[in-house]
Amino acid sequence: MLFLFLLSSFVFKGNADTIGLNVSAGPKQNYTFPKDFLFGVSTAALQIEGAWDADGKGESIWDHLVHVQNPKFAKDGSTPDVAADSYHNYKRDAEMVHELGVNIYRFSISWPRIMPKGLKNDINQKGLEYYRNLLMELEKYNVTAMVVMYHWDLPQALQEMGGWTNENIVDYFADYAKVLYDNYADKVKYWVTFNEPMQVCLEGYGNTYRAPKLNQTGFADYLCTHNLLKAHAKAYHIYNTTYRPTYGGQVAISLDSNWAEPKTESASDREAAERYLQFHLGWYTHPIYSAEGNYPAEMIRIIDEKSRQQNFSQSRLPKFTPEEIEYIKGTGDFFGLNHYTTYYLTMADKQVGAVPSHANDCGIVRFQNPKWPSKSSSNWLRVVPVGFRRLLKWVSNEYNNVSILVTENGFADFSGVHDAERVSYYGHYLNALLHSMYEDKTNVKGYCAWSLMDNWEWDDGLTSRFGLFLVDFKSPNKTRTPKDSAKMYAKVIKSRSLPDNFDPTDFSAFSSSNVLLPSVLTVVTLLSLT
């Protein structure tokens, strides 16, 4: 049963005031980004590289999904087989990074391109050469590399051995990390072990929204997370012990989170919002960044009790040993944060103890206000910059003013170089970031826009565009053209300030009657309690 909330909608006229929440993060001030603030841009291997089986690359779980499991997975029937063909266009990609003037290019390395079967006995030299060439191009433009080791593309051969539910994968990932360190530590300053592990485990192992579509929620998602956190810690310690003394780089993890706004000011709704944050973000951050380590105490208590009620002999949430808690704790040199949008949270009307699932364990419902600006090609992406500011403050308060690098933030549309909505989105969210830094005193060190170019956007295929550069997917060379947002972002980076014409009360770029929901509508929720 899905818990649905009915609300009235109206055509958004550009006023930031909405029921219960003003989406604006605050008035424009004469705030500027510090000279040492890092600006960057991000991509992911599977979404841009193409060349899915070229030069010795092995099959990934996403290749297997779109070729074997479900060829109609993407809405437009497309696959990442070619995508933006960055495998053959990496020099142009590096030029685009240079044109933006960013400090950092965050890109991911494809595990099966380096180790086709995922194991160290078979290393693909052509794959190693590709990333070495890309790093050399970035070095030519004085761009610092931030490398993501794992952005969802597990070698299919490892998935057939259980993937992230097989505890041996901790050692397999450590071997992979060592290969990357051995080959690229001299050229990479920032390492990210995993990007958005919640999407990997909750959406891929617990549900069917991501590969490998295991659909074993309440079990596989917890096992996946348990092994993934241990793999992260092992990769961190390997670098810390062997490579940091020579190269002095940093290692962390990138975690995604929406902001959770209580539906009302009631104690129950405030508890629902906090529980959402702990069961989604805290699930991964608490073991690494908290003073005590381990999973959030309330998460442990609830899942242990529900497992008991469901007649399991032990909790469905695996337990770390005291030694593992200490081993994982502190394994983040910065806090990588991906953020896009905001949800309202309230407690579920009823909780069914007999049906194990992460959603049931959490016991909450999330939804969005249709009055929040949208006009995005991704129906979940509503524009609520104040949520970004509040999330940054929550992370800072929860984890002792940790050093934060925003590793993804961006807006999706359907196409075109004149992308007023994306320009507006970046203005509002960068304004929120400045308010967070100056008024809330958060320790934000950098910001990476998502994404450098249009890409293969998972189940949206090629229909949803996040890029600062337009990609002509029909052209032989996948021609890249800067959008208005690329020019705006470059000006922000150069001036270290928001555009002169930015108005924090103006959301008119998102005003369009044909993109809002009908007059009576269902508010988005992804948490089913059945």
Catalytic residues: 196, 408
Q: Rounded CA gap, 15 and 452, in Å?
A: 30
Count Cβ atoms below 10 Å from residue 97 Cβ, excluding itself.
23
Question: Are 197 and 228 contacting, i.e. CB atoms less than 8 angstroms apart?
Answer: yes
Q: Rounded CA gap, 98 and 102, in Å?
A: 7
Count Cβ atoms below 10 Å from residue 175 Cβ, excluding itself.
15
Q: Rounded CA gap, 327 and 175, in Å?
A: 18
What is the DSSP track for 231-284?
Answer: HHHHHHHHIIIIIHHHH--EEEEEEE--EEEESSSSHHHHHHHHHHHIIIIIHH
What is the DSSP track for 334-348?
Answer: SEEEE---EEEEEE-
Going from the C-alpha of 12 to that of each of 7, 382, 428, the distances in angstroms are 15, 12, 16
Q: Rounded CA gap, 285 and 374, in Å?
A: 29
For residue 8, list its beta bridge partners: 520
Name which of 195, 257, 250, 261 is nearest 228 in CA terms.
Answer: 195
Name which of 250, 331, 262, 241 is nearest 290 in CA terms.
Answer: 331
What is the DSSP track for 152-189?
Answer: S--BHHHHTTTGGGSTTHHHHHHHHHHHHHHHHTTTEE
Q: Rounded CA gap, 201 and 441, in Å?
A: 33
Query: Quick one: 445 exposed, middle or buried, by C-beta within 10 A (0-12, 13-18, 19+)?
Result: middle
Q: Rounded CA gap, 185 and 236, in Å?
A: 13
Going from the C-alpha of 281 to that of each of 116, 225, 275, 307, 512, the distances in angstroms are 31, 12, 10, 22, 33
Q: Rounded CA gap, 116 and 48, in Å?
A: 19
Query: Quick one: 99 exposed, middle or buried, by C-beta within 10 A (0-12, 13-18, 19+)?
Result: middle
Q: Rounded CA gap, 107 and 113, in Å?
A: 14
Q: Rounded CA gap, 415 and 470, in Å?
A: 7
